[in-house]
Amino acid sequence: RLLIIDFGSQVTQLIARRLRELNVYCEIHPYQNVTDAFLAEFAPKAVIFSGGPDSVMRDGSPRPPKSVYDLGVPILGICYGQQVMMHDLGGRVEAGEHATAEFGRAFVTPSEDRIDLLTGWFMDGSGREQVWMSHGDHVAEIAPGFSVYGTSPGAPFAITADEDRKFYAVQFHPEVHHTPNGKTIYENFVRAAGFSGDWTMGAYREEAIRKIREQVGDKQVICGLSGGVDSSVAAVLIHEAIGDQLTCVFVDHGLLRLNEADEVVKMFRDHYNIPLIHADESELFLGELDGVSDPETKRKIIGRLFIDVFQKHANSIDGAEFLAQGTLYPDVIESVSFSGGPSVTIKSHHNVGGLPEKMGLKLVEPLRELFKDEVRALGRELGLPDSFIGRHPFPGPGLAIRCPGEITREKLEILRKADAVYIDQIRKHGLYDDIWQAFVAILPVRTVGVMGDGRTYDFACALRAVTSVDGMTADYYPFSHDFLGETATRIINEVRGINRVTYDVTSKPPGTIEWE
């Protein structure tokens, strides 16, 4: 296995992701935990030093134990990791001046006598390679045994290596998207270290299960289940690890889609045999939301009730010491806290923010290292159905924010039916996976229509469908007019209470994806 020593870079997890893509198993450990004894026990086959925000010239700045250089295994240093390596092995690092600091895109050119080697290693032969830099300090003198392979305007030692010892050090970040060929650096590094690349998501699952067992022991765990992909994958994984020590709490606020509550309960209780409390609290939620039309007030009411209800049911589980959450890596904002010693600072998952502290529970977050697509792959590995894994995101406040104005049972009923027809249309036309999110919003207006020979006075609704990468920005989906016409006809014919269908063609920004 490969060890990544984390010196606090914001992108350390991307290194791990690149390695997983190469089917290599790795673990990230904060530098504070990496001692001589740790190294001896871990016995890495290769080591990567991450980047980091500190300066090696500052007394007390992060370092690996010196014994790492005597393990006889390949080492790759990145950015701060390069500077650490040069400093430790007898080179020299200089403080950044304006002229040599580089942030963002830069171009590396190979040193003349090294073109062949570098072409094999990293470059496509054009003699210029785009990389992403982010450094103030830079290496001023390389350590004995190293040679220079590539330079950039701000980094005379952008790529350096000691091929005898298999020590490689680069100033830029090969793990980020803006270093387009960065992956080949990792590829060649793991090859040099003798990895065969046979690690799989199945192995990840085994390792995650081992870790959960180690963390939890014989204690009880509570998991808040939303019906979404992340919490579901976390629940199934944890259940596989500790069986009935896990109890799921599914807060049903009465704002779910058609049949959704039933499906969640069936899947987890019947199919997976996971102890599940179905907290059907729709009366409570809809009662408190009665007559409320301001979007922020709606959200606040739902958030507050959610925490109350969750807490009430969780308290009924004897001896629970852990709260499981489907926090993903993008939810984790800092990997190493430099001010507070060896502690790790995280952002709590927004849906139950503040709950663990309030209830005195410790967190189990088995998906903390993964990105969304990897969670989906793990879900597939665990046997969750594809149709479930590929589901569009659904917001915590549910249909409440798709029902502008006052929420009534009648409107929710109509909205559920219209939404089901719309999603059915999208699936039938094979468009579901091309769309990031699609839903119907029921509008707080009635309009006049004519059906048969009679006058109607019913609700209007808006169809929404967007493409997006991360939900931060979005564009409306360009349905054909035929599709829109057919869908409008179906909704009006099949859903009593709607006599007008519109399509929302707003991008985000200036709109948001949801209507509230």
CB of 303 vs ligand XMP, minimal distance in Å: 8
Q: Which amino acid is at 451?
A: M
Token pair belonging to 449: 């229509």
87 is known as an active-site residue: no
Give the C-alpha separation, 405 to 32, whole Å: 53
Is residue 7 within 8 Å of residue 49, measured between CB atoms? yes
Burial of 253-262, coded b for 16+ CB within 10 Å and e otherwise, reads bbbbbbebbe
The only residue of 395, 398, 404, 497 in contact with ligand XMP, by rule CB under 6 A = 395
Residue positions counted in the chain:
516
Percent helix, strand and coil across the chain, each to the nearest 5: 40, 25, 40
Nearest CA to 409 out of 290, 261, 288, 262 is that of: 290
Residue 397, interface with ligand XMP (CB under 6 A)? yes
Closer CB to ligand XMP, residue 232 or residue 499?
A: 232
Phi, psi (degrees; rounded to nearest 5) at 340: -105, 30
CB of 241 vs ligand XMP, minimal distance in Å: 25
Q: With contacts defined by CB under 6 A, name the span among 142-150, 163-171, 424-432, 505-513 that binds ligand XMP.
A: 505-513
CB of 513 vs ligand XMP, minimal distance in Å: 3
Residue 508, interface with ligand XMP (CB under 6 A)? yes
79 is known as an active-site residue: yes
Element (H, E) at 27: strand 26-30
Binding map of ligand XMP across residues 355-394, x = CB under 6 A, - = no contact: --------------------------------------x-
Closer CB to ligand XMP, residue 120 or residue 471?
A: 471
Give the C-alpha separation, 194 to 196, whole Å: 6
Write out the binding residues for ligand XMP, residues 435-494 only, by CB under 6 A.
437, 471
Q: Count Cβ atoms below 10 Å from residue 38 Cβ, excluding itself.
A: 13
Write out the binding residues for ligand XMP, residues 399-438 only, by CB under 6 A.
437
The annotation status of 229 as a binding-site residue, yes or no, is: yes
- Please name the residues in contact with 346: beta carbons below 8 A apart, sequence gap of 6 or more: 327, 332, 333, 334, 365, 368
Strand pairing class (362-364; 129-135) = unpaired
Closer CB to ligand XMP, residue 74 or residue 326?
A: 326
Token pair belonging to 429: 């036309």
Q: With contacts defined by CB under 6 A, name the span among 39-47, 63-71, 374-382, 395-403 that binds ligand XMP.
A: 395-403
Give the C-alpha separation, 383 to 361, whole Å: 29
What is the side-by-side strand order in the sheet with 155-162?
Answer: 26-30, 2-6, 46-49, 75-78, 167-170, 155-162, 147-152, 102-110, 129-135
Specify which residues 494 forms β-bridges with. none
CB of 237 vs ligand XMP, minimal distance in Å: 20
Active-site residue among 87, 135, 138, 173? Answer: 173
Active-site residue among 26, 135, 138, 175? Answer: 175
CB of 258 vs ligand XMP, minimal distance in Å: 17
Phi, psi (degrees; rounded to nearest 5) at 422: -60, -50
Sole residue written with tokens 């499906």:
263
Residue 254, interface with ligand XMP (CB under 6 A)? no
163 is known as an active-site residue: no
Q: Tell me the site size for ligand XMP, rule CB under 6 A.
A: 11
Closer CB to ligand XMP, residue 316 or residue 512?
A: 512
Residue 497, interface with ligand XMP (CB under 6 A)? no
The annotation status of 11 as a binding-site residue, yes or no, is: no
Sole residue written with tokens 């590829």:
187
The annotation status of 319 as a binding-site residue, yes or no, is: no
Closer CB to ligand XMP, residue 52 or residue 395?
A: 395
CB of 430 vs ligand XMP, minimal distance in Å: 22
CB of 397 vs ligand XMP, minimal distance in Å: 5
CB of 395 vs ligand XMP, minimal distance in Å: 3
Specify which residues 487 forms β-bridges with. none
Q: With contacts defined by CB under 6 A, name the span among 110-118, 255-263, 416-424, 506-514 that binds ligand XMP.
A: 506-514
Closer CB to ligand XMP, residue 385 or residue 471?
A: 471
The annotation status of 226 as a binding-site residue, yes or no, is: yes
Binding map of ligand XMP across residues 96-125, x = CB under 6 A, - = no contact: ------------------------------
Residue 396, interface with ligand XMP (CB under 6 A)? yes
The annotation status of 230 as a binding-site residue, yes or no, is: yes
Element (H, E) at 168: strand 167-170
CB of 351 vs ligand XMP, minimal distance in Å: 6
- DSSP string across 215-255: HHTT-EEEEEE-SSHHHHHHHHHHHHHHGGGEEEEEEE-S-
Token pair belonging to 73: 């295994």
The annotation status of 227 as a binding-site residue, yes or no, is: yes
Q: What are the E-state strand segments in 292-422? A: 320-324, 362-364
Question: For the chain, how far is it from start to end, CA to CA, in angstroms?
Answer: 47
Closer CB to ligand XMP, residue 91 or residue 398?
A: 398
The annotation status of 228 as a binding-site residue, yes or no, is: yes
What would you report as the CA-atom Rg of the chain, rounded to the nearest whole angstrom?
27
- Contact set with ligand XMP (CB under 6 A): 351, 393, 395-397, 437, 471, 508, 512-514
Q: Enumerate the active-site residues.
A: 79, 173, 175
Feature table: binding site for ATP? 226-232
Feature table: binding site? 226-232
